[in-house]
Structure 1
Amino acid sequence: MTQLIGVDLGGTAIKLGRFDPQGELLAELQLATPRPAMPGAVTLAIAEAIGQLDPDGLAPVVGIGLPGPTDRHNRIARLAINLEGWQDVPLADWLEPRLNRRVTLANDANAALVGEAWRGAAQDCRDAILLTLGTGVGGGILLGGELFVGHGGAAGELGLIGVEPDGAPCNSGNSGSLETRCSIRGLARLSPLEPAELCRLAEAGDPAALAVWATYGRWLGIGLSSLLYVLTPEVVLIGGGLGAASAHFLPAVRAELEQRVLAVSREGLELRRCALGNGAGRLGAAKLALDRLVLEPAGS
């Protein structure tokens, strides 16, 4: 039985899982992302972690989700906006000889969306958007049951769309992007309190905390309104660390969408919190390894 390894490379942690072909988790491992997160140091850390997770080589294929776009062949990390020194890094080529396993890459939000479509909150959907709200704002698009990545592999950077023409600078080079308003840094512009404390206060009915989440939700709704007009998905999934606060900001998101988006463009739309939490990315990366490196060659 072919096993699979999925890796979710983040700015603070690298999360790994070993799975069976049905997506059942067999073993897991998490380690801190090296500081600074230079490509060479991260490559070595991933290789060592995979060796620990699967010392007997039971999983011959590896999928890796990373915070940025890949090339159309899913082998080169084109850019990782929130990791230092990442531009056109041939990560698959570096890892394969070290691991003696085949490797495929994906944008981390795309991987999370694949995981949610496989065993999570989007199992019943063929057209979906996922937004990951955390250190940055990532995005993934599922159209007709397939990931949409564009002709060069870099489509779906939903957090980098503009929502505020004269807004704060974004690491992408844009100004006033959705990420500048709806990332953890964007939330900090609304309140000096940590997200967990804002949640606690909102749950207790604190008016100031509820107002912060309402403003946050309004900005998220502004960004989503443009995406809905273009993509008209069945469902929008909300994930990432800030997704845990969705009960506090989704009412404001819904109100903004009802005001800004024609009924026909949001007909039947559902806003859902991701079901798999922080495990979606590594699961989806493993599923992409299964699809690209096991099933596709066998069926060709």
Structure 2
Amino acid sequence: MTSHSHLIGIDLGGTNIKGALFDATTGECLERATTPTRDGEKDGDLPAWSSGVRKLVEQFEAQAGSANLPIGISAPGLAARDGSCISWMPGRMHGLEGFQWAGFLHRPVRVLNDAHAALLGEVWQGAAAGARDAVLLTLGTGVGGAVISDGRLLTGHLGRAGHLGHITVDHHGSPGITGTPGNLEDAVGNATVAARSQGRFTSTRALLEAVQAGDADADRVWATSMHALAAGMVSLINCFDPETFILGGGIAAGAAGMLLDPLQDLLDQMEWRPGGQRVKVVLASLGEWAGATGAAWYGGK
């Protein structure tokens, strides 16, 4: 880690920017703060979110009593291989692609994908603390993910590694947003609940409320999604051999036992367990602060 006394982590999201200040020696979080992203707005010639990030950095440095602290910034999209910026992020967060953070902030900055940051946070201080082999799936509007193998975050040739929601779980299925047929994201993500339930439900929360009320059709929809998720998980387990498999995101947080209980039953049937060893499946514990936490660790490397 860094020789500096403090670390700053910034998680740039579509709605809010979350920032956190950490003691570099103990890892203790000393302060957290949020500010609106204001995506689409400008401060002068620059995107408004850039000013929001700078204000958080200045706030944390004032509290730390030190300037030029190392900063990690997590954001959606593919990060450049040198960690200088997000190199690919079409469709939203205009101005983020190619934005050079170190030049803007005049401080040491390392940039990474938001799901990658979330996994680093969980491994540093969360549900997979100390793990050297871990997989994260974030279950929300879509499905994201990240992989740490032998203590190393896998980013791949283009920064595309970890986009685990785009693996195929039904090779006859319709193509998803990346062209992958029958992908995991479409089988589980909140964005496709209406299509999966023939229009009966518009959110996973509504679907699960119906399951709890004994609705047989809702139960079938949820069971189908759980079967696809379990199949995807065991495929990823076979690929990466993790010691810990983390489930995060809004669906995981909201479903809890309704997610883990059926998954464990399905994994008992599907998972390859050499020597009887099973992968530990846990819920993410850092919640919305996982990205800022992991970004701080990454920035201080």
**TM-score tier (shorter):** 0.7 to 0.9
Q: Say if 2:28 is the partner of 1:2.
A: no
Q: Say if 2:222 is the partner of 1:213.
A: yes
Give the one of 274, 285, 298 matched to 2:284: 274
**Which range moves more in the overlay, 101-110 or 211-220?**
211-220
**2:39–2:93 contact (8 Å) kept in structure 1:** no
Give the one of 261, 266, 271 matched to 1:256: 266
Map of 1:50 onto structure 2: 57
**Which range moves more in the overlay, 147-156 or 110-119?**
147-156
2: CA distance, partners of 1:199 / 1:211: 11
Map of 2:35 onto structure 1: 31
Map of 2:140 onto structure 1: 134
- Change in 2 beyond 3 A, CA 1:4/1:202: farther
Q: Structure 1 counterpart of 2:190, which letter?
A: I
Q: Say if 2:235 is the partner of 1:226.
A: yes
**Which range moves more in the overlay, 229-238 or 159-168?**
159-168
Percent identical residues: 35
- Change in 2 beyond 3 A, CA 1:266/1:144: farther
Give the one of 241, 247, 264 matched to 2:250: 241
1: CA distance, partners of 2:214 / 2:61: 47
- Change in 2 beyond 3 A, CA 1:161/1:43: farther
Map of 1:96 onto structure 2: 102
- Could you list the per-position Cα deviations for residues 90-115 of structure 1 after superposition, in whole angstroms to 9, with x for gaps in the alignment? 33x2x223322211011212111111
Normalization by structure 2: what TM-score?
0.82
The alpha carbon displacement at 1:53 in A equals 4.6
Normalization by structure 1: what TM-score?
0.83
- Change in 2 beyond 3 A, CA 1:164/1:9: farther
**1:11–1:82 contact (8 Å) kept in structure 2:** no
**1:217–1:250 contact (8 Å) kept in structure 2:** no
Map of 1:297 onto structure 2: none
- Change in 2 beyond 3 A, CA 1:123/1:98: same
The alpha carbon displacement at 1:208 in A equals 5.2
The alpha carbon displacement at 1:148 in A equals 1.8
- Could you list the per-position Cα deviations for residues 192-242 of structure 1 after superposition, in whole angstroms to 9, with x for gaps in the alignment? 243344455555666555444333222211211221221121111001111
The alpha carbon displacement at 1:289 in A equals 0.8
Q: Say if 2:167 is the partner of 1:161.
A: yes
- Change in 2 beyond 3 A, CA 1:249/1:176: same
1: CA distance, partners of 2:16 / 2:228: 28
**Matched positions, count:** 288
Map of 1:109 onto structure 2: 115
Q: Structure 2 counterpart of 1:117, which letter?
A: V
Q: Structure 2 counterpart of 1:214, which letter?
A: A
**Which range moves more in the overlay, 228-237 or 36-45?**
36-45
Gaps of 5+ in 2: none
Give the one of 15, 23, 28 matched to 1:12: 15
- Give the secondary structure class of the aligned counterpart of 2:177: coil
**1:217–1:251 contact (8 Å) kept in structure 2:** no
**Which range moves more in the overlay, 265-274 or 76-85?**
76-85
- Change in 2 beyond 3 A, CA 1:206/1:35: same
Q: Say if 2:153 is the partner of 1:147.
A: yes
Q: Structure 2 counterpart of 1:20, which letter?
A: D
Q: Structure 1 counterpart of 2:98, which letter?
A: P
**1:232–1:266 contact (8 Å) kept in structure 2:** no
Give the one of 79, 86, 96 matched to 1:70: 79
- Give the secondary structure class of the aligned counterpart of 1:189: helix
**2:40–2:47 contact (8 Å) kept in structure 1:** no
1: CA distance, partners of 2:238 / 2:79: 26
Q: Structure 2 counterpart of 1:228, which letter?
A: I
The alpha carbon displacement at 1:287 in A equals 0.5
**2:117–2:294 contact (8 Å) kept in structure 1:** yes
